[in-house]
Chains A and B, each alone.
Chain A
């Protein structure tokens, strides 16, 4: 009964480095959503992807952030040239092919930028 997997669980980067966060959805799920939880803030939507397509990226910062969900393999959230303000918990969620079902969340990746 594998749920949403995220790795790494904790990631430390220095300012200016790149961060790559991986998300493997529940088997059979083809919809992936990324959310960010900044300290003392709630959860904010970043991007919604289906296999090989970005459906909604209205919550993604315009620069340095990108996301993909290839035909094979996990979804990747990539942050280039990280800054201290990127330190947060990043959660991935997945839902089944119909997409009208519940979003199930992974354990999150805690990113710390030194």
Chain B
């Protein structure tokens, strides 16, 4: 069975601190996708990144970076120099790839609530 675990329920940091959100996944598939989404207080879900199982290169986008390690089944997310606007719930998700080649359902972790204090 597929599963995503975000062990950190809540994290509180002071502005300008770096923070890492952990994500560990379980799957028997050899081909899969991993995602991070952000849910700000306004409630919508904002796509941040998609990574396929064959691409283990780390990625950096501005203050955001992601560390994908297949050996430990982890896909961690780091925010450098956090800002108040980063306060949100962050979800890690895993998707299966169906026999048709299409992406199936997303399996979400429970989410990590990040509070960045001024």
Q: Would you call B43 and A101 a contact (CB within 8 A)?
A: no
**Chain B interface helix/strand/loop/mixed:** strand
Quick check: is B110 within 8 A (CB to CB) of the other chain?
A: yes
Name the segment of B14-22, B56-64, B67-75, B95-103 touching the other chain.
B95-103
Q: Would you call A105 and B47 a contact (CB within 8 A)?
A: yes
Q: Would you call B106 and A42 a contact (CB within 8 A)?
A: no
Quick check: is A31 within 8 A (CB to CB) of the other chain?
A: yes
Q: Would you call A56 and B105 a contact (CB within 8 A)?
A: yes
> Which residues in B have their C-beta under 8 angstroms from that of A91?
45
A44 to B107, CA, bound (A): 7
A42 to B46, CA, bound (A): 15
User: How many residues belonging to A are interface residues under a CB distance threshold of 8 Å?
Assistant: 29
What 1/0 mask marks residues of chain A from 28 to 61 whose CB sits below 8 Å from any chain B CB? 0001010100000111110010000001101100
Q: Would you call A56 and B45 a contact (CB within 8 A)?
A: no
Interchain CB contact (< 8 A) of A107 among B35, B43, B101: B43
Question: For window 38-52 of chain B, which residues contact chain A by CB distance below 8 Å?
Answer: 43-47, 50
Known contacts A107-B43, A107-B44, A108-B43; A101 and B103 CB within 8 A of each other: yes
Interchain CB contact (< 8 A) of A102 among B35, B44, B97: B35
Q: Would you call B44 and A98 a contact (CB within 8 A)?
A: no
Interchain CB contact (< 8 A) of B110 among A42, A104, A107: A42
Interchain CB contact (< 8 A) of B97 among A56, A100, A104: A100
Some 10 contacts from A to B, beta carbons below 8 A apart, are A35-B108, A42-B111, A43-B108, A44-B108, A100-B97, A100-B103, A101-B103, A103-B47, A104-B47, A105-B44
Footprint of B on A, CB under 8 Å? 31, 33, 35, 41-45, 48, 55-56, 58-59, 89, 91, 93, 95, 98-108, 110
